[in-house]
Amino acid sequence: MPHTTHIKDILANGTTASFELFPPKTPKGLKQIYQTISKLKDLNPDFFSVTYGAGGSTAERSLEIASAITNLAQVPCVAHFTCVGMNKEQVLELLQSLEFHGINNVLALRGDPPKGETSFTQPEGGFAYANELVAYIKEHSNVGILVAGYPEGHTENPSKDDDFSHLVEKVKAGADGIVTQAFFDNRELFDFSERLQKAGLNTPLSCGIFPVSNPKQIQRIIELSGATVHKKLLAGIDKYQDDPESMEAFGTDFCIEQVSQLLDHGIKAFHFYTMNRARQTTRVLEALKDSFPSLKF
């Protein structure tokens, strides 16, 4: 039987650890992701999530991987679900397809435009904003719904306050939890969490954690997200950028320290952006295993 635990119940269950994967584009990448799933599922994570390529470009493979996690690996899976390229009828069809595969939770997003396009275009008969998608899913399905939160605001919105107001709209539309974009300075998360509390939002918050190992990759993420980077991380990237082994070791230690500090401040849910690799995330969690009693090593 597939795992159909609702995300609200998952995030209410003490300290949680979850893993994000992305659909690969090559046979070699597909082999690697299934090897990674096999390794990570042995840790007994609370759930996986599978991303959805820009413009829905990996929709079929996303569903394939999410179904395998749910039905073969026997771990709950959150499927990314975007507004891009879908009208209301197609949204209902996708919900039915997810239900058929036993997938009981989604991450509702506006989504990125297809490759080659610079801005999002509302589909005819579809939705312009994620809060509209959340409300529609809530009306027509019983799936659990996560939404994205941006501790430092979304790069497309110059107003941090306006961006936060959109998050409030998504939560009020029916979100069961918030998962954040990766951040590299815990002060940003603490400020974000305080804003949620002041707004009266008690929705569970899962923190996006990105273990650093590839300097070029992290620089690209920083450029795209506009994330603030802790000075200690910047110094480490500068020092070890030409030494991959030392860079990964430093990034692992930095991540352990980051998660440990978050735990000390009462944060309980952690969503690891694994980049389809198991080793570094496993090392981080193993170092903190006393704080994650449900995990297995």
CA max distance for the chain: 52
- Residue 170 host element (H or E): helix 160-172
Amino acid at 130: A
Q: Is the CB of residue 218 less than 8 Å from the CB of residue 236?
A: no
What is the three-class DSSP state of 218? helix
Distance of alpha carbon 103 from alpha carbon 76, whole angstroms = 8
Q: Would you call 188 a catalytic residue per the annotation?
A: no
Distance of alpha carbon 98 from alpha carbon 60, whole angstroms = 11
Taking CA atoms, 117 is separated from 23, 169, 242, in Å, by 21, 27, 34
- Residue 191 host element (H or E): helix 186-198
Distance of alpha carbon 61 from alpha carbon 105, whole angstroms = 17
* Catalytically annotated residue among 20, 132, 152, 188: 20
Comparing CA positions, the residue from 297, 277, 260, 237 lying closest to residue 15 is 260
- What are the φ/ψ torsions at residue 240 (nearest 5 degrees)? -110, 10
Instruction: At 82, list the tokens.
Output: 């975007």
Distance of alpha carbon 280 from alpha carbon 249, whole angstroms = 9
Distance of alpha carbon 295 from alpha carbon 297, whole angstroms = 7
Active site residues: 20
